[in-house]
Chains A and B, each alone.
Chain A
Amino acid sequence: MSTPAAVVWQKNPDLAWREIDDETVIISPHDSVMHELNDTGSFLWKNIDGKKSAAELAELLVENYQVAPDIALSDAQALLDEMSSRKLVVTVSATGGVSL
């Protein structure tokens, strides 16, 4: 039986971002598109460091927002998927490969 390689998340290194009014504003230089993250998205964004998996990020949501673990995991995964579709974050496999 094979086990999926641990996948961790990191910010797309090509982006520019700032926190303002408790929200995060992200600029994609290639298409000049501005993205905004709300409170939860900003919290997740701050903790995306190229070392944490979705499950580990969900644990931080549980600690910080007092939500049930299963809801936190589903929220974290949904936010990561959304950020990934906008090319704001990338996954890094256990073998070190990066994919957009």
Chain B
Amino acid sequence: MSTPLVNSGRGPRQQFELSIGRVTFRVQMSDPKLFGAASARYRAFTGAAAPPIKIALNDGALAAGRAADFAYEFEGAALRAFRSEIRFDGVRNQYALDSLLRVLLSWKLLGHRGFLLHAATVVRDGKAYIFTGRSGAGKSTVASLSPEGSVLTDEISLLRREHGMWRAYGTPFWGEFRAAGLNISAPLAGVFRLVQAAENRVTPLRPLAILRALLPNVLFFSAEAEANRRLLEILSQAATEIAGYNLAFRKNPTFWEVLP
């Protein structure tokens, strides 16, 4: 999984390859402690089938005058994406690395007709059920009420359109329901907006209502107009092609009985 690299003037760099939603990265770093933590955290997502995008972690100052295609800063950690490589700087722990990976992935998925969504994904009978909502809506509850091994994530879902069909992928990004994640995918059964209630009830949504349900829960960090146009195009297509529902549910597994 790891390969030591030679790097003059710094400690030897190590690297591991990540594949999340079939977007592949090669992460290089010289901090052995961070490397150990990160490679353990993403162990279910290591290995890349496609040529990976190189991410250089804490690699020092850049040559002046290089304008990034995309840049983002988060609590002292900075992401800069260039045509041929990605730089993460000021990353002090695995949580900062995890945050920048989410930001980077949300941006990279634009080129793959995909997006990240605050949602739990549960696979049942070979289909992916996406349960979306803000913090406290019940994503982790749904995950905890679902059979072990069926939950792809309880926090951040990855949706991609491939060959005319929407699929959900597991991610290593988890909330309360801690697990390594499952690096598998399944075609979508539907997107369910969670509303906790005294009884279970499912109500179909029109495309505009699906878009309304998706938008506040999409992870996206670019304020650039063209990137937002692309995102809205992808989400609008998803809203017209994916089945969407409001799901009022009780906090027990009986909600599965009302799902279509």
**Which of B207, B216, B224, B225 is in CB contact (< 8 Å) with A20?**
B207
Min CB gap B78→A, angstroms: 20
* B206 CB–A CB distance under 8 Å: yes
Question: What's the dominant secondary structure at chain B's contact region?
Answer: helix
Min CB gap B6→A, angstroms: 42
Bitwise interface map of B from 204 to 219 toward A, beta carbon under 8 Å scored 1, else 0: 0011100110011000
Bitwise interface map of B from 198 to 242 toward A, beta carbon under 8 Å scored 1, else 0: 000000001110011001100010111101110111001001100
Q: How far is the CA of A20 from the CA of B235 in the complex (A)?
A: 11
Beta-carbon contact of B228 and A20 below 8 Å: no
Given known pairs A29-B222, A29-B224, the reply for A16 and B229 (CB within 8 Å) is yes
Beta-carbon contact of A17 and B225 below 8 Å: no
Beta-carbon contact of B223 and A16 below 8 Å: no
Min CB gap A53→B, angstroms: 25
Q: How many A-B residue pairs have CB under 8 A?
A: 44
> Which residues of A have CB within 8 Å of B206?
21
- Nearest residue in A to B232 (C-beta to C-beta)? A16
Q: Which of A1-35 contact B (CB under 8 A)?
A: 13-18, 20-21, 23, 25, 27, 29-30, 32, 34
> Which residues of A have CB within 8 Å of B220?
32
Bitwise interface map of B from 141 to 172 toward A, beta carbon under 8 Å scored 1, else 0: 00000000000000000000000000000000
Chain A CB count within 10 A is highest, among B207, B211, B216, for B211
Q: How far is the CA of A29 from the CA of B224 in the complex (A)?
A: 7
Beta-carbon contact of A16 and B239 below 8 Å: no
> Which residues of B have CB within 8 Å of A27?
215, 228, 231-232
Given known pairs A27-B228, A34-B215, the reply for A20 and B236 (CB within 8 Å) is yes
Beta-carbon contact of B208 and A17 below 8 Å: no
> Which residues of A have CB within 8 Å of B228?
15-16, 27, 29
Given known pairs A16-B232, A18-B233, A18-B236, the reply for A25 and B225 (CB within 8 Å) is no
**Which of A16, A18, A23 is in CB contact (< 8 Å) with B225?**
A16
Beta-carbon contact of B236 and A29 below 8 Å: no
Q: How far is the CA of A23 from the CA of B183 in the complex (A)?
A: 37
> Which residues of A have CB within 8 Å of B223?
29-30
Question: What's the dominant secondary structure at chain A's contact region?
Answer: strand
> Which residues of A have CB within 8 Å of B207?
20-21
- Nearest residue in A to B223 (C-beta to C-beta)? A29
Q: Which of A51-89 contact B (CB under 8 A)?
A: none
> Which residues of A have CB within 8 Å of B232?
16-18, 25, 27
Min CB gap B225→A, angstroms: 5
Q: How far is the CA of A82 from the CA of B31 in the complex (A)?
A: 54
Given known pairs A25-B236, A29-B222, A29-B223, the reply for A20 and B211 (CB within 8 Å) is yes
Beta-carbon contact of A34 and B212 below 8 Å: yes
Chain A CB count within 10 A is highest, among B206, B220, B223, B240, for B223
Contact surface of A with B, Cβ cutoff 8 Å? 13-18, 20-21, 23, 25, 27, 29-30, 32, 34, 36
Contact surface of B with A, Cβ cutoff 8 Å? 206-208, 211-212, 215-216, 220, 222-225, 227-229, 231-233, 236, 239-240
Of the A-B pairs whose beta carbons lie under 8 Å apart in the complex, a sample of 15, sorted by A's number, is A13-B225, A15-B228, A16-B232, A17-B229, A18-B232, A20-B208, A21-B207, A21-B208, A25-B208, A25-B236, A27-B231, A29-B228, A30-B223, A34-B212, A36-B208
